[in-house]
Structure 1
């Protein structure tokens, strides 16, 4: 027993000796604690993060001596040696510059921003904590070259280098490697399925084409959001924000936003985390009552319901129902419903629209966002090899503006990812699924509430009869129209009445756009990708290879896509490789070259090469010149391929090879006004093929309506859509001049086969070559002319490619420095220009939607005095034309001031902030049709956010 006891004692002593503990602190050169700094044992993945007071303690099985590294973004890394147990290490980190920050996105490998081969922006923990915006995602707008288009309070769309819509399919957003685009819509939904503020580790933004490494959707830019690892950031952190939103149209309304992060490292092998956040407020009310031109959707500032009988208000819905009342009068006469058929001659050939409802009558503007995610992380060998499962869900209510305005209610998005990775490779697979919940189209809600009360046929019949009666009574045309509308609207369902509410509930639960407005969708994306970096195996160069596979499964039940008979699946695959090599004796010259192969099952394959050169100048290598050429391509998105959506005045039609014939619809013979064609009194089926092989341009049809000259009609017959390509040239400079940091870039983008839409008109009978004729009053008249003259046609917005030259170019300049000692000053300017001949191509929309000039500036001090800081951000945008299918018009120039003050209370491990977005209260908008953006005032309390 004595021998056994001795052996156990020796083992215990041995185990005790093998445990090394060290502790200490991390402060800046002003002796201020640095919370959240990473403390890592060099050569291992063992580490810890400093607490709110900048302190740390770590126990390891490694025996001294070994080196320990302290690092955090914005400061220079420091290394100290541990030589004994219970040693104290006190790190003092010198403040670095933005050029020293490490990014991953530009080359899929860690490198300093200073040496990045292309333009890249970074938004780290320091910027998140000091942003003057009410939300970290909104703070991205202060980056140079970045536009944020505000769709609603909770849904904002990031864009770079032009071609911006809310359906921004040219821009990709990755959250921990997962594309968070909604499967049905095929574009990012802002931060609705993103991250909560206390879990954000870093954000990187790569403007311009990135297809060579990231595939088809990374065509105009890509945003990377990376969360905190529970191995490095464990513990509980939380935040709470309370405030108000203030808007002239909506008044002052409460706003709250709170979230919690719980992460725990059970051992060096296993860790887990859970995040949850909840936001609720009142959305920006949209109340633009200006009328739109029905052909171009351009806003007409002087058009109102009072002076325009064919009024189509921007935020008034139900008035898209329109008809030429002369045709109604002729029909009434032919059916014997007029006392004298000659009375039809009293009716002019003019279009009249039904009376609509204001948007505020059709939605409650409840803005809500609920997000949750969870993850399990396993490191079987206690090193960088990690297996993880991550789940994410997002739900809530918002407003989305696409071809129409949509009230998105109780939507549900979810993602599930499994990933295996280490420092040299990753292999991941994930699924994204969406459910539209109780969402509905507000435009068709207005249309079909009207129809619930009185059919279009009855309403227009009553209007026409009343117009005739008023004319016979001696009223002039304006008076007769006013009298006719009053008569036809008698008994109309008024908002707030039980009849209106009953019709409203019926309509928003009916997915058939002929009778309802419910938005249905249960689509999915299945995605997998992999990457391997051979840099640890070869000294010649850094070489990477990778690939991806994606499968779309569209399922809108026929409400959006042509999937009424079942789901629509299709897939894409891609492979890429990249090589990086440094040259010259001091490795001042860096070459990066990559190429990617992509193949969609619907189109031919594409190769996307990229090559860039970077050269460091100066004795201290403080100046970097870079130049790059890259190509990008963009497969047509889900809507360009398979949409088949009737928005009232026009049908949106995708042109996947099999899609036009999938768009089957029925026309009643009663809707055909011509005679002698053998289809009166019958119904017939037609599909969308005529949009592509038997159509006129919509502008030429409008010209014909005005002139009645058949020579004005122009054949459209657009081609089937195919992938779009871009050749991008970029030069740039990054450097440090004393205390001033400069980052400049300029680019030229040349597009081929630019994907766009063209508005066309397909006659129900007759060919657009005008070869099919019938005798009319002894004259041989083309059937198509008769069809157009009698409005016997269907208008389409067809997806296609333009052969026109589309180019864009621009530049961005950022300057940051410190003034008055320790005050941070940053300024940036962005120039963006579209080179496109609109006059020569009136039927194509480019949707550039970008101001030519933007200027932004920020000023602040993170430590004005002990534990107190402030930041002020100002931005100005030039005026520009917003071009979209819902509404087109000018966005006036605007300027916005955001400001915040903050206080750290180390004893409470807390930070308090008071701030305001749009402090000056000058309301503005970034897109025609959305609500004016008012002000947000808030206070926040953040606990233990390291």
Structure 2
């Protein structure tokens, strides 16, 4: 026992002796302090950052001599040797270029972006402060290869390399290591639970697959946001932005955005911080009344279905209604002979009558940081909450109202390892589906059977009275709409309140949800222990707990739980091939296993050649995979035109719905065939007894030939895979910085949707027939006894895409910053041969972005402008398909710094040319924003 104690005491002494502290101040070449400069021990991940006054203190478990690398965005790095403990090293950095910036995301370890093995974009403190966009999140759109699809003022979806809707489940967003996707939706709601601007340390974006290090969801790109540690960044800082949003449809409306950060280091052992952000404005109003189905119809047409008009999705063949009324004895015999076989839709409500377009975001976070030994070993607790109102467009348009999201994280870390666990929980609040709001306000006033019955009776009466077909339809709609609830009336408001508080979509539109994600991950870097290479190992575990009370998922009987885990390792080695050529090799391998599927290995190999310290050529090969999302697996949602049914093995049978003659969802003929007036049918037919919807609605509808019906029988969902090849170059040529890359992606088992129609009776092989020889399935379709489903499945064909991006940056005209980039993206898939399969590529083929500015036009005064142009492209998603025209946008800002007050004043405008545009079919047009801001003490 005594011997053991002596050994422990000796070990403690050695550890204590091995600790070295270095401190000093970091400034630019004019003597101004540089807050947030990185100080890292060369060859390790150990490091720290300078505070607001440029001061830093670095304590490491390493004896001198060793070297530290000092870097700061836009300045050349310096490497300085540490020769003794408690040494003071003041550093003056010389302005450099963006290739000297340090990134962490590409390899999970600090490295110059110049040497990164894959494409990575960085948005640092300098770029955040100088962005011409209204906030840092919008400013990411000016990076090459990046798309931002604007859902609403407070919800924007970031994507790289295509294949995205607003439900962007292929793109991951990490905030201080936490995936901030909403559990119910399985994708991030923009920056709702993100960060306040004054707490951001850096933003990095990794395009393309990164499954080898980050797992199943890191399939199409990752956004990394890191916050400031209160040990390194103390004090109170904040900002206020006031201005207006201007849109032709909504007019000019007030806009407010403010945030505050408070951080304090109580001692060398304990520090804490609190952040708060608030945004309020008026959303971009969506007011399109164009025909949603691209048939060229207007509100004067009888089967009109407007893009942003809801309730008119309910449509039926009025001759079939007449026949049903006749057969039930509810209408005079022969009435069906007076009524044509045409589809008629109910009268709908405009979207602006179903929402007030209130855009609001309230978020707060707090952190407690403890360093028990006053070194880099740190224990963190971080809590985050976010709530707000926004518009989300998925299968329908949704008013996300009082939505609530929270995260809680506990993390233990030092410069070589971390272990963290966190929980993410959401609550739907008062959110509701605007399409079903319109449908069920109509039903609250007059149910569909009554409305269509009155329409048929009025049409027949007008026809008998000698009216033309057009006049008879007008008279029929007027008669059926008599007494309709009109917006602004007490009757309408009572129906609206009742419907939006009812979670049953047969009568209401409210979303209920309280889903959770439990996640843990860890990483250890052996860089300090192994000399021949840098080796990392890590892993993650996750549990999904879905609890929508049957409103989104098929969880009417209780929460749905399932688990997944992953393990990975990475080896990185630099080889000096000659005095002027260095080769950096990186190899990564990850294994992931979801309890619903077989496990997957994801390797990544990359090589980077650095030539003369000015040129770097990189090449990489990597594979990625994506597990089907929670919605891909367990959704069970009626969106009006179809039922969304997830592709988990046990899910279709969980989705059970009732069809009856009284509700008008089962024909009298069908009731006779089935032998009952009401029947419960599950969604398994979508996957084992269905036709492709395109063959039913087009080919068969036009020809009447059963041979034109094409069997669908979608496959159940399974993981999607990608193989990616990338080649890139970064370098300096006579003061010009060039960063270029090209990629080719091959997707197998591509996850997407198919729209199918499943008959209530009869088999799709057409072997079951009526006595007259008509196949039962054909009779079911003819009688309207069938259901449309949107299935979640995998493509049999491979889907390929390729693209390239290049950025050129330089200084012109005595110090002005000029940067331009171009992005090319192309889908390689035969859509004509697969009309029922939707890839949702949703990306312009060509994009151009240019920025021009100067941080010091004259003393303390700077400006920046950004212009971007996007090619036209075709948008396809479950809400609707349509062309997105080409557009160009100009943003600009001027700023003035008051150093004595540590304050920056800014005036800015987005979409300065006032050419309204949209980035997706069905959304509101994006107008202009004009604002003034004051930022105080921002480190």
Which interval holds the TM-score relative to the shorter structure? over 0.9
Q: Which residue is 1:245 aligned to?
A: 245
Q: Cα offset for 1:707?
A: 1.7
Does the 8 Å contact 2:386/2:406 carry over to 1? yes
Does residue 851 in structure 1 map to residue 844 in structure 2? yes
| CA RMSD across the alignment | 2.5
Does the 8 Å contact 2:863/2:893 carry over to 1? yes
Alignment of 1:546-557 (within 5 A): 546-557=538-549
Does the 8 Å contact 2:620/2:727 carry over to 1? yes
For residue 774 of structure 1, give the secondary structure of its aligned residue in structure 2. coil
Q: Which residue is 2:506 aligned to?
A: 514
Does the 8 Å contact 2:36/2:201 carry over to 1? no
Q: Which residue is 1:736 aligned to?
A: 732
Q: Determine which of 748, 761, 767 is the counterpart of 2:744.
A: 748
Alignment of 1:329-728 (within 5 A): 329-339=322-332, 341-586=333-578, 588-617=582-611, 620-670=612-662, 671-675=665-669, 677-679=672-674, 682-702=677-697, 703-728=699-724
Describe the shift of the 1:423–1:454 C-alpha distance in structure 2 as closer, same or farther (beyond 3 A): same
Q: Which residue is 1:842 aligned to?
A: 835
Describe the shift of the 1:863–1:464 C-alpha distance in structure 2 as closer, same or farther (beyond 3 A): same
Q: Which residue is 2:13 aligned to?
A: none
Separation (CA, whole Å) in 2 of partners of 1:74 and 1:525 = 39
Separation (CA, whole Å) in 1 of partners of 2:614 and 2:841 = 36
Separation (CA, whole Å) in 2 of partners of 1:918 and 1:68 = 44
Separation (CA, whole Å) in 1 of partners of 2:459 and 2:594 = 57
Does the 8 Å contact 1:278/1:369 carry over to 2? yes
Q: Which residue is 1:210 aligned to?
A: 210
Describe the shift of the 1:581–1:57 C-alpha distance in structure 2 as closer, same or farther (beyond 3 A): closer
Q: Cα offset for 1:225?
A: 0.4
Does the 8 Å contact 2:617/2:728 carry over to 1? yes
1:90-112 alpha-carbon deviations (Å, 9 max, x no partner): 64321121111111111111111
Does residue 896 in structure 1 map to residue 892 in structure 2? no
Q: Which residue is 1:260 aligned to?
A: 260
1:707-749 alpha-carbon deviations (Å, 9 max, x no partner): 2111111111111111000110110111110200101100000
Does the 8 Å contact 1:68/1:80 carry over to 2? yes
Separation (CA, whole Å) in 2 of partners of 1:588 and 1:173 = 33
Does residue 94 in structure 1 map to residue 94 in structure 2? yes
Q: Cα offset for 1:706?
A: 2.1
Q: More deviation in 67-76 or 907-916?
A: 67-76
Describe the shift of the 1:144–1:408 C-alpha distance in structure 2 as closer, same or farther (beyond 3 A): same
Q: Which residue is 1:933 aligned to?
A: 926
Q: Determine which of 741, 752, 757 is the counterpart of 2:753.
A: 757
Does the 8 Å contact 1:674/1:787 carry over to 2? no
Does the 8 Å contact 2:51/2:232 carry over to 1? no
Separation (CA, whole Å) in 1 of partners of 2:335 and 2:72 = 84
Q: Which residue is 1:319 aligned to?
A: 312
Q: More deviation in 832-841 or 696-705?
A: 696-705
Does residue 195 in structure 1 map to residue 190 in structure 2? no
Runs of 4+ with >4 A deviation: 20-27, 30-33, 35-48, 54-71, 78-91
For residue 565 of structure 2, give the secondary structure of its aligned residue in structure 1. strand
Q: Which residue is 2:50 aligned to?
A: 49
Separation (CA, whole Å) in 1 of partners of 2:58 and 2:536 = 36
Q: More deviation in 603-612 or 74-83?
A: 74-83
1:655-712 alpha-carbon deviations (Å, 9 max, x no partner): 1010010001111134322527444662111101111111111011112122211111
Separation (CA, whole Å) in 2 of partners of 1:59 and 1:692 = 60
Does residue 277 in structure 1 map to residue 271 in structure 2? no
1:197-249 alpha-carbon deviations (Å, 9 max, x no partner): 00000011000000011001000001100000111101110110000000000
Separation (CA, whole Å) in 2 of partners of 1:125 and 1:110 = 17
Q: Cα offset for 1:310?
A: 1.1
Q: More deviation in 677-686 or 693-702?
A: 677-686
Describe the shift of the 1:727–1:484 C-alpha distance in structure 2 as closer, same or farther (beyond 3 A): same
Does the 8 Å contact 2:284/2:924 carry over to 1? yes
Q: Cα offset for 1:621?
A: 2.0
Q: More deviation in 765-774 or 510-519?
A: 765-774
1:609-647 alpha-carbon deviations (Å, 9 max, x no partner): 110111112xx3211111111000000001110000001
Describe the shift of the 1:864–1:652 C-alpha distance in structure 2 as closer, same or farther (beyond 3 A): same
Separation (CA, whole Å) in 1 of partners of 2:710 and 2:82 = 81
1:477-518 alpha-carbon deviations (Å, 9 max, x no partner): 111111111110011000000000000000000000000000
Does the 8 Å contact 2:738/2:809 carry over to 1? yes
Q: Which residue is 2:136 aligned to?
A: 136
Q: Which residue is 1:871 aligned to?
A: 864
Does residue 164 in structure 1 map to residue 186 in structure 2? no
Separation (CA, whole Å) in 1 of partners of 2:46 and 2:590 = 32
Separation (CA, whole Å) in 2 of partners of 1:197 and 1:936 = 18
Does the 8 Å contact 2:48/2:58 carry over to 1? no
For residue 527 of structure 1, give the secondary structure of its aligned residue in structure 2. strand
Which TM-score applies when normalising by structure 2?
0.94
Does the 8 Å contact 1:198/1:945 carry over to 2? yes
Describe the shift of the 1:56–1:691 C-alpha distance in structure 2 as closer, same or farther (beyond 3 A): closer
For residue 281 of structure 1, give the secondary structure of its aligned residue in structure 2. strand
Q: Which residue is 1:296 aligned to?
A: none
Describe the shift of the 1:34–1:335 C-alpha distance in structure 2 as closer, same or farther (beyond 3 A): same
Describe the shift of the 1:64–1:893 C-alpha distance in structure 2 as closer, same or farther (beyond 3 A): closer
Does the 8 Å contact 2:25/2:50 carry over to 1? no
Q: Cα offset for 1:942?
A: 0.4
Which residues of structure 2 form unaligned runs of 5+? 1-19
Does the 8 Å contact 1:45/1:383 carry over to 2? no
Describe the shift of the 1:90–1:349 C-alpha distance in structure 2 as closer, same or farther (beyond 3 A): same
Q: Cα offset for 1:46?
A: 9.3
Separation (CA, whole Å) in 2 of partners of 1:759 and 1:576 = 38
Q: Determine which of 786, 796, 820 is the counterpart of 1:793.
A: 786
Does the 8 Å contact 1:41/1:47 carry over to 2? no
For residue 841 of structure 1, give the secondary structure of its aligned residue in structure 2. coil
Alignment of 1:62-141 (within 5 A): 71-78=71-78, 91-141=91-141
